[in-house]
Amino acid sequence: MRCNYTRSDAEQWAAFSGDYNPIHFDLQWARKLGSERLTVHGMRAMLDMKQALSEALRPVPPDAHFFRFSARLRQPVRCGLDYRLDVVATEYQASGRLLDERSGESCFSAKLVPSVAFDIADVPHIQRLKRQDVEALGRRFPGAPLLQWSFLDALLFQRIVSSAEILSAIKERLPTMQARTLIDVFAQLSVVQTHHDVHFNVDLLASGALCCGDDALSYVILPSLIVGDGDSGLVVRIEVQCWTPQSPLLASAVTLKTASYTQR
């Protein structure tokens, strides 16, 4: 599968997620952070990988009840360049790589395998999304056809982007940074590596609108783990979980490694 991402891809993802980091839209800003091209958000590029791996594992193994998706992003995905998405699958797992067609370098790799269920964390501050709100977001989702687990992972990323608690925790590590949102933070920090892990219910491998029934989706953003400082760079781990009264649905963890803030 060939991929060539454009600014339009970045704009569609931003319209859904609320992540308007200027590194995806402002070439002068991107150059200030060391990139000669605009980059496409890693979560947008992963939509194609998630779709390809999910299709490669159909039909679903009959004894699989949960799956785990894991991805490692090592190089930015640039606008206007040609990429190749290679997938290898067996009966029980699928793996893939997004390769730069010119250099042959792997921008990111991913794997989808059967897994065990995750335990819902016993923490306060549970939040909820109404069914009609979830359905409205599904109509704006840039992935087509809509893959339920990919959509739910993106929806929870949207919740992370707007989290005041995560913003506050990062600013404690970077007290001189001027930022009103989490997007302001990552507009000033260069992310050099991203790990993304998702555990999800096998029922979410289906395509089509996510059905919540008469229930709201419950979710919780767990306390962030942050190490490092402005001189050495940060490692930030963010985890969010989602469920209905019937069962756990999806747990997503994002780990970001940034460059030094003082050397930006």
* Per-residue model confidence as pLDDT tens digits over 163-193: 999 999 999 999 999 999 888 898 888 888 8
* Global pTM exceeds 0.85: yes
195 is written with which tokens?
Answer: 């790990």
* pLDDT value at residue 42: 87
Integer-rounded Cα radius of gyration of the chain: 18
Highest average pLDDT, of 12-16, 98-102, 138-142, comes from 98-102
**Mean pLDDT (whole number) for 99-104:** 92
Strands (E), the chain: 2-3, 39-40, 66-73, 77-78, 83-89, 94-100, 106-115, 127-129, 191-201, 217-221, 225-229, 233-243, 248-258
- Taking CA 107 as the corner, what is the angle to CA 20 and CA 145, rounded to the nearest 5 degrees? 60
CB atoms within 10 A of CB 53: 26
Check whether 264 has a pLDDT greater than 50.
Answer: no
Give residue 236's pLDDT. Answer: 95
- For the record, the structure tokens of 212 come out as 């919540």
Return d(Cα 245, Cα 238) in angstroms, integer: 24
pLDDT tens sequence across 195-245: 999 999 999 998 887 766 567 789 999 999 999 998 999 999 999 999 988
Render pLDDT for 65-87 as a digit per residue (tens, 0 to 9). Answer: 999 999 999 888 999 999 999 99
Name the helix (H) or strand (E) containing 12.
helix 7-17
pLDDT at residue 113 greater than cutoff 70: yes
